[in-house]
Structure 1
C-alpha cells in the first residue's frame, strides 16, 4: 500500500468519524447506544461465561523481554511460623502495551501528525499522564454484543502465518460461513490464531513478524459502525504494508476513527464453546482498570453465551 493510498484512506475514515466528546462516550463507542446495550442481553442463552484474555506473562521471552513483575510482599517466613493473624500481600507491575499480554488501547495511545484522535493536541500527554482521551473514559466499562470471526477456521488452517493479512473479504466470508453478521455498535473480535501458534510452537519475536488486518479492512469497521475491535494478535501485521507507518491499523482505527483496540487476547477457550453452541455472537463485558491518565489497561473481556 503506497503512502499516498494510506493517506487517502486515513483522511476518508477521519472525515466520517465522530469528534471527541467532552463528557460521556466518544468516538466509535457512540455507536453503542443504551438500546443496543440492552438488546445485547438477549444473546445470553446458556449462562456460560468465557474469558477472552490470556494469562499475564511473568517470564521473559522473545516477544516479551520485559514481562510483568509479580512480587510477594507478605507474609514473611517468620509470620508464617506464628499463630497470629497475618495477610498474604503482593505487588504487580507491567508494561501495558507489550506483545504478549492482553490489553486495551486508550484513544490517547496513538500520536500521529502531532495530534491525538479528533485533533486533540499531543501536548496533552505529559510525564504526569494523558490529560485527555485516557482509559478513564471507560470507567463504566464496555458492554455490548460481541461477534467472533474465526479466519483460520474460514481458511481451513489452525492459524495464519506471521506476515499474512486479514482482508475485508475475509471478514465478510467469515460472516457467511459462521452464519453471523456484524452490526452497528458491535464489539468485533477477529481470530488469526496467534495465541494457538504461540502455544504450539513457542513464542517468537512478534514485533518483527505477525498477522493482522490489512489497512483496507478498517473500512469494514467504519461501514458496519463497529464500536471496538479486539484480536488475538496486535491487530497490525508485521512487517507493515505501508512505508514508514509501522502500525497503520492502529493509526486508522484509533487516531482516525476513535475506535478502542484490544490486543493479544485469547480465543482458544471461546472457539469450542461457540462451535458447540452453533453461535458466534454473545453478550460481552469489557472492564478496564480505572486508571487516571493512562494510555491503556490490562483487560479481561468476558463473553457470556
Structure 2
C-alpha cells in the first residue's frame, strides 16, 4: 500500500469511527450489551488470554521485565517471628513479547492523538489526555475469537503473513459466529504457538499480523477493542514509510484500544470443543491514570 492510499484509508476510517472523543470505541459497549455478554457464560470455564511475563532475555525480549524478590534474602532466613515476602516488578510496557494494552494516547500521528487532540499533554509524569485512565472501570463485553490458522488448516501463520478482510469473513462463516457492535475482537495468527514450538525470534523483522484494510472490517462492525497474539501489525510493514499502520488506523483513526501479544492456545481448543467462538470477556487494566498502557491479563469466561 502506498503512503497516499494509506492516508486516504485513514481519513475514511476516522470519518466512520463509532466512538466519541471521550472513550473512543469503548463507547460502543452499553450496559445492555454487558448483560447480553454475561449470557454467553454456559460452562463457567475461565481462561486467561495472557502469556506469562518474560523475565529473561530472548530474541524478542532484549529488555525483559525485571522481577526481584526483596525479602527475605538468602543472608536473612526467616526466623520464628512474623515475616513478609516482598518483591519489586518493572516492565517496558510496549515491548514485543508481553501481553499488554495500548491506551489511546499511545499513538501520535501527524502531531495529533485520536480525535485530533494535540499531542502536547505529555510530561515526565505521564499523559494528560486519552491515558489508561479511560479504562479504569475495566473493559467488559462479548469477546469473539477468529482463528485464522484453523481456517487455513495450519498451526500458525508464518512471519510476514498478512491476514485479509476476506479471511476474517471466512473465519466468521466457518466458525458460525458474527462480530458485532461493541464486541471485543480477538484474531489468532498463531504467533504464540510458533514461539512455543520453534522458539523466540526477532519479531521486529518478521511477524504475522493484519493487513491495514482489515480495519475497514473493524469499522464496519463497530467493534470496541482489538486484540491479537501478535501485535496486530505484520512485519515487514504493508505500507511504505509507516512502520505500524494497523496501530495508526486502530488507535488514532478509530479510537480502538489494542491488546498486543495475547495468547489463545488455551482458549482456541476450548472454543472448538464447545463449538462456539464467543464468550464473556473481562479486561481489568491497572489503575495507572497517566500511563500509555499496562500489562494485562484478559479473562474469557465460557
Q: Please indicate, yes or no, whether the TM-score normalized by the shorter chain is above 0.5.
A: yes
Aligned to 1:52: 49
- Partners of 2:29 and 2:182 within 8 A in 1: yes
1:209-228 matches, within 5 Å, as 209-228=206-225
Alpha-carbon distance, 1:79 to partner: 4.1
Q: Residues of 1 paired with 2:119 and 2:40: CA distance?
A: 40
1:265-284 matches, within 5 Å, as 265-284=262-281
Q: Is 1:10 matched with 2:10? A: yes
Q: Residues of 2 paired with 1:77 and 1:10: CA distance?
A: 56
Deviation string 1:11-51 (CA, Å, 9 cap, x unpaired) is 01111224412xxxx21111111111111001000000000
Aligned to 2:30: 33
Match of 2:61 among 64, 71, 74: 64
Match of 1:242 among 234, 239, 244: 239
- Partners of 2:98 and 2:261 within 8 A in 1: yes
- Partners of 2:99 and 2:262 within 8 A in 1: yes
Q: Residues of 1 paired with 2:135 and 2:285: CA distance?
A: 7
Aligned to 1:141: 138
Structure 1 counterpart SS, 2:25:
helix
Aligned to 1:183: 180
Match of 1:76 among 55, 68, 73: 73
- Partners of 2:72 and 2:78 within 8 A in 1: no
Structure 2 counterpart SS, 1:76:
coil
Q: Residues of 2 paired with 1:79 and 1:203: CA distance?
A: 37
Unaligned runs of 5+ in 1: none
Structure 2 counterpart SS, 1:80:
coil
Aligned to 2:108: 111
Alpha-carbon distance, 1:81 to partner: 4.4
Structure 1 counterpart SS, 2:5:
helix
Q: Is 1:301 matched with 2:290? A: no
- Partners of 1:210 and 1:233 within 8 A in 2: yes
- Partners of 2:50 and 2:99 within 8 A in 1: yes
Task: Provide TM-score, normalisation by structure 2.
Answer: 0.98
Q: Is 1:130 matched with 2:127? A: yes
* Paired residues, number: 301
Structure 1 counterpart SS, 2:194:
helix
Deviation string 1:231-279 (CA, Å, 9 cap, x unpaired) is 0001001000101100000000000010000000000011111111011
Deviation string 1:211-249 (CA, Å, 9 cap, x unpaired) is 110000000000001000000001001000101100000
Match of 2:94 among 80, 92, 97: 97
Alpha-carbon distance, 1:78 to partner: 4.9
Unaligned runs of 5+ in 2: none
Match of 2:164 among 164, 167, 170: 167
Match of 2:284 among 282, 287, 291: 287
Q: Residues of 2 paired with 1:275 and 1:54: CA distance?
A: 20
Structure 1 counterpart SS, 2:69:
strand
Alpha-carbon distance, 1:208 to partner: 1.0
Deviation string 1:68-120 (CA, Å, 9 cap, x unpaired) is 00001101335424211100000000010000000000000000000111111
Structure 2 counterpart SS, 1:43:
coil
